[in-house]
Structure 1
Amino acid sequence: MTYFLTMPTPRSSSPLNRGRNVIMMVSDGFGPASQTYGRSFWQYQNNYTSDHITSLDEILVGSSRTRSSNSLVTDSAAGATAFSCALKSYNAAIGVDPNGVPCGTVLEAAKKADMLTGLVVTSRVTHATPAAFSAHVAHRDMEEIIATQQIGDYELGRQVDLMLGGGRCFFLPNTTEGSCRTDSRDLIREAQTHHGWKHVLFSGTEFESLVKARDGAVPLPLMGLFNSDHMNFEIDRRNTQSDEPSLNRMAKVALESLKANSREKGRGFFLMIEGSRIDMGAHNNDPVAHIHEILEYHRTIQVVKDFVAQNEDTIMISTSDHETGGFTLGLQVDPKIYPEYLWRPEVIERAKLSTEILTMKLMAFHANEPKVKSAHSQERRRRVEHYVSTEILERGLGIKDPSMDEIESLADPTVRSADVMRFLSRAISRRASLGWTTMGHTGVDVNLYAKGSPDIGKYTMDKLRGNHENTDIGNFMSWFLDLNLKDVTDRLAK
């Protein structure tokens, strides 16, 4: 069932139907198996029966096909560009068509129609998905340029009113420790001096102080860059006391702030929220990081659903750009033996940190362990093996029954970090009877979810039911908000 094979015409020739809101939610790398995983683990944690459904299950309306213009298996850049520009483009494309020509995005068209706009992510804000809504470059790795466009230094000027996530390093001059830029531009200073950003925050503490001072709705424009790189995995954010807000907290504040600031002039808003690190947990084949990102996304979905239920002319859409990991619930270790169809959620529940953090801890231990006569001396090996078995496996992953092969492999001073992460991820996945087919993306269809406020009619919501091309989602948002993406594309070409 496909409703928008071509760009829809605006619903009227009049100015924007003021006051309408769209909340686009992207669960990066989140396929149907991951939703089953999230539901099953949530039921186990809360002692729910198998008929309990999650905040996402309640609003399932269809599915989305994910291929890009040049591959059955898309990447996040092309996947997000399909949502933002309502067109297919090549893998790595950020807000450009297959010829590399900039295409107007839903966010930019909303801004042109005098709406407020926002981006809330747990990745770097310059990463593929948020970039595809707010920038135009030939390749996703051009994050220095993406950052300059996001603050407002390009043809259209500042288009984003609220931007929360990680990626601070791309906004700092190369003279600053931790900068990712190759030039000396200070984008934080430029944003505030030349592009009207009122506030730029670097920590969860600063964020909460401002929220408290403004009774829950922060002043706009506001930028929060809460980590130099991606924000922490949710399980690490909770267990290492990092000074970062959660995704659901950022989403709640963003919604209230956009509502408060748009209500003054009777205009609506467009907000994109991404559960970015669902994908990264799957890339690592880490079922621990993956599940806690999924559960946090469920909490964020509930926040948005509550907002939609209480505000007229509002629609939320949630879908994924692609699936990651070829994730499966069920693992047959030996094909010669009839499989035991098991699911061991208690294995996942015992884990306290992501395999990413544990890999960093182990590699730091290897690097800092004092050298003795030989790198393979018995004394050194005993210390490392003790650290591996207690700090990494037992306290980190909750694995109390490691084999000597597992301990010795991780204790090897020549082990590479990539091998450590894969080893840890496989160790816990195997014990939980979970499988992965790849550390990359797959081409399967992904679920599509949607909910409209009580005043939104069945005719409107029915347009999202069934199986769709990913571009249909961009076209639907454009139609609902009465936007003209072509006008923005034309402006970019001047």
Structure 2
Amino acid sequence: MFRSGSTFAVSAFIMAVDRPLLASRNSSEASNDRDIAEEDALLTGHPTKRSSDGRRPWAFWREVGLFVWAVVATAFVIVLAVFYQKSQDSKHNYKSPSGKRNLIFMVSDGMGPTSLSLTRSFMQFQNGAPWSEQLVIDQHLIGQSRTRSSSSLITDSAAGATAFSCAMKSYNGAISVTPDHEPCGTVLEAAKKAGYMTGLVVTTRITDATPACFAAHVHQRGEEDRIAEQMVGDYPLGRVVDLMFGGGRCHFLPNSADHSCRGDNKDIVELAKNNGFNYIDNRKAFDDLKGGSGLDFPMLGLFAETDIPYEIDRRNETDVYPSLHEMAEVALKALSEATRNSDKGFFLMVEGSRIDHAGHHNDPAAQVHEVLAYDKAMTSVLDFLKHDETEGVMVSTSDHETGGLATARRKPFTRPYHSQYSY
């Protein structure tokens, strides 16, 4: 016997038993059954049963149709995008790189963002220019780079230039050798092997770390005597540099000669001449090159015993030392004329070398003028590229920053520190 109030439930149960079990199920219930069947199929590995006549349900073919439509639509969009890009390339006359090329690689050694800020402000003040006036290098600044070496968070010029020349990180002091002291091929050597002419223009010793990394391989940057020998052709690859301008004459003179700094009595100038080099060592001989049109290759020009003086001093000795932009202009013209009838161009490395030294010496006046000299050399390179018949590319970068230069402001007539004591 059922309790009072349950009559309706019992009646509903009897009615349900009298009818076919699935007669009253709605679509959601059927869908649930399909879901359960699919789950069972996934768990057991047995396929779900198809309809009694063996045909797949309409839902299956609808999903296949949607998939095919998506594939066709995607392919159509890709084809449309390709045709649009080709039309844009044709409109703007874009061409794949081919044919003769020149590459000028410029290095502002030891220069960082603060060096540029200080130099820019000095230029504006000196010229009475508005605060918006920019350096030439400002107009080509596109980013920054991470410069650690394999042995230190702070790289030196040797490891930095090895990364530039070999595209490999190495330890501080390495001259185009890997961390396990194996020589690595340089971009200058590759250019020479490919038939290009090559050159190096610097304001330090030509045997200093940055130029050395393009044309020598030694374990430590201090081996400048050996670097000098390799640069003039005492080298497994023979002579790989066609033109060198800079300082460092003392490493090319035998120690029996005045102003030599070699540790032995080898005469590297004589070795260079025996290997075909034309040699000059003073301003008059440089001027006799007639801006490059009177230059005979290969050329070795050493204009100072060690480093060419800072620009702030050199500008008062123009009759003794050529400037960075003058050396760059002569090199560019000479290399351009020498490759005029060749299907190969040239590779030239130009370094604003002594920005680095001014930073190390905490000499902001010298550093500003070194950056200005580099900026002027960049102007010369850009002007050359604009007017030269051969297409060319200039790449300008810095290897690291030196000196910890900081620019700040303080109130006039106050000490840069605060103390209760007088000094």
State the TM-score, normalizing by the size of structure 1: 0.63
Q: Does 1:51 align with 2:150?
A: no
Q: How far off is 1:205 after superposition? A: 1.4
- Residue matched to 2:316: 239
Task: Name the SS of the counterpart of 2:142 in structure 1.
Answer: strand
Cα distance in 2, alignment partners of residues 91 and 144 from structure 1: 19
- Give the letter aligned to residue 219 of structure 2: A
Q: Does 1:135 align with 2:213?
A: no
- Residue matched to 2:284: 205
What aligned pairs does 1:65-84 form with structure 2 within 5 A after superposition? 65-84=146-165
Cα distance in 1, alignment partners of residues 418 and 380 from structure 2: 47
Q: Does 1:297 align with 2:374?
A: yes
Q: Pick closer, same or farther for the CA change 1:261–1:191 going to 2, 3 Å.
A: same
What aligned pairs does 1:449-460 form with structure 2 within 5 A after superposition? none
- Residue matched to 1:170: 251
Contact 1:26–1:321 under 8 Å retained in 2:
yes
Contact 1:144–1:170 under 8 Å retained in 2:
yes
Contact 1:95–1:132 under 8 Å retained in 2:
yes
Cα distance in 1, alignment partners of residues 100 and 331 from structure 2: 16
Q: How far off is 1:309 after superposition? A: 1.9
Query: Relative CO higher for 1 or 2, CA cutoff 8 Å, sep ≥ 6?
Result: 1
What aligned pairs does 1:425-436 form with structure 2 within 5 A after superposition? none
What aligned pairs does 1:268-307 form with structure 2 within 5 A after superposition? 268-307=345-384
Q: How far off is 1:331 after superposition? A: 5.8
Contact 2:288–2:294 under 8 Å retained in 1:
no
Cα distance in 2, alignment partners of residues 283 and 208 from structure 1: 32
User: Which moved further from structure 2: 178-187 or 154-163?
Assistant: 178-187
Task: Name the SS of the counterpart of 1:265 in structure 2.
Answer: coil
Cα distance in 2, alignment partners of residues 176 and 17 from structure 1: 50
Task: Name the SS of the counterpart of 1:78 in structure 2.
Answer: helix
Deviations along 1:439-471, whole A, 9 cap, x unmatched? Answer: xxxxxxxxxxxxxxxxxxxxxxxxxxxxxxxxx
What aligned pairs does 1:397-436 form with structure 2 within 5 A after superposition? none
Q: Does 1:160 align with 2:241?
A: yes
Contact 1:22–1:269 under 8 Å retained in 2:
yes
Cα distance in 2, alignment partners of residues 42 and 203 from structure 1: 31
Cα distance in 2, alignment partners of residues 242 and 94 from structure 1: 34
- Residue matched to 2:266: 185
Contact 1:217–1:253 under 8 Å retained in 2:
no
Q: Does 1:315 align with 2:393?
A: yes
- Give the letter aligned to residue 103 of structure 1: C
Q: How far off is 1:251 after superposition? A: 0.4
Cα distance in 1, alignment partners of residues 333 and 253 from structure 2: 29
- Give the letter aligned to residue 403 of structure 2: G
Cα distance in 2, alignment partners of residues 17 and 221 from structure 1: 28
Q: Which runs of 5+ in 2 are unaligned?
A: 1-96
Q: How far off is 1:183 after superposition? A: 1.4
- Residue matched to 2:276: 196
Q: How far off is 1:99 after superposition? A: 0.6
Q: Does 1:146 align with 2:227?
A: yes
Cα distance in 2, alignment partners of residues 217 and 55 from structure 1: 30
Percent identical: 51
Cα distance in 2, alignment partners of residues 296 and 246 from structure 1: 8
Contact 2:247–2:307 under 8 Å retained in 1:
yes
Deviations along 1:352-402, whole A, 9 cap, x unmatched? Answer: xxxxxxxxxxxxxxxxxxxxxxxxxxxxxxxxxxxxxxxxxxxxxxxxxxx
- Give the letter aligned to residue 246 of structure 1: S
- Bigger-Rg structure (1/2): 2
Task: Name the SS of the counterpart of 2:246 in structure 1.
Answer: strand
Contact 1:18–1:268 under 8 Å retained in 2:
no
Cα distance in 2, alignment partners of residues 53 and 162 from structure 1: 32
Deviations along 1:72-94, whole A, 9 cap, x unmatched? Answer: 10000000000000000000000
Q: Pick closer, same or farther for the CA change 1:69–1:242 going to 2, 3 Å.
A: farther
Cα distance in 1, alignment partners of residues 398 and 294 from structure 2: 28
Q: How far off is 1:334 after superposition? A: 4.2
Deviations along 1:413-442, whole A, 9 cap, x unmatched? Answer: xxxxxxxxxxxxxxxxxxxxxxxxxxxxxx
- Residue matched to 2:402: 324
Q: Pick closer, same or farther for the CA change 1:288–1:157 going to 2, 3 Å.
A: same
Contact 1:147–1:171 under 8 Å retained in 2:
yes
State the TM-score, normalizing by the size of structure 2: 0.73
Deviations along 1:28-72, whole A, 9 cap, x unmatched? Answer: 110001011111111111111011111101111111111101111
Task: Name the SS of the counterpart of 2:245 in structure 1.
Answer: strand
Deviations along 1:155-214, whole A, 9 cap, x unmatched? Answer: 000000000000001111111011111211111111111x221x11101111001226x6
Contact 1:95–1:136 under 8 Å retained in 2:
yes
Contact 1:217–1:256 under 8 Å retained in 2:
no
What aligned pairs does 1:362-401 form with structure 2 within 5 A after superposition? none
Q: How far off is 1:239 after superposition? A: 2.1
Cα distance in 1, alignment partners of residues 294 and 187 from structure 2: 24
Task: Name the SS of the counterpart of 1:324 in structure 2.
Answer: coil
- Residue matched to 1:224: 301
Contact 2:311–2:373 under 8 Å retained in 1:
yes
Cα distance in 2, alignment partners of residues 296 and 96 from structure 1: 31
Cα distance in 2, alignment partners of residues 242 and 330 from structure 1: 37
Cα distance in 2, alignment partners of residues 173 and 247 from structure 1: 27
Q: How far off is 1:330 after superposition? A: 1.1
Cα distance in 1, alignment partners of residues 106 and 318 from structure 2: 26
Contact 2:152–2:172 under 8 Å retained in 1:
yes
Q: Does 1:263 align with 2:343?
A: no
Task: Name the SS of the counterpart of 1:138 in structure 2.
Answer: coil
Task: Name the SS of the counterpart of 2:148 in structure 1.
Answer: coil
Cα distance in 2, alignment partners of residues 17 and 182 from structure 1: 48
Q: Which runs of 5+ in 1 are unaligned?
A: 1-15, 338-404, 406-494
Cα distance in 2, alignment partners of residues 75 and 121 from structure 1: 17
Cα distance in 1, alignment partners of residues 318 and 138 from structure 2: 31
Contact 1:21–1:313 under 8 Å retained in 2:
yes
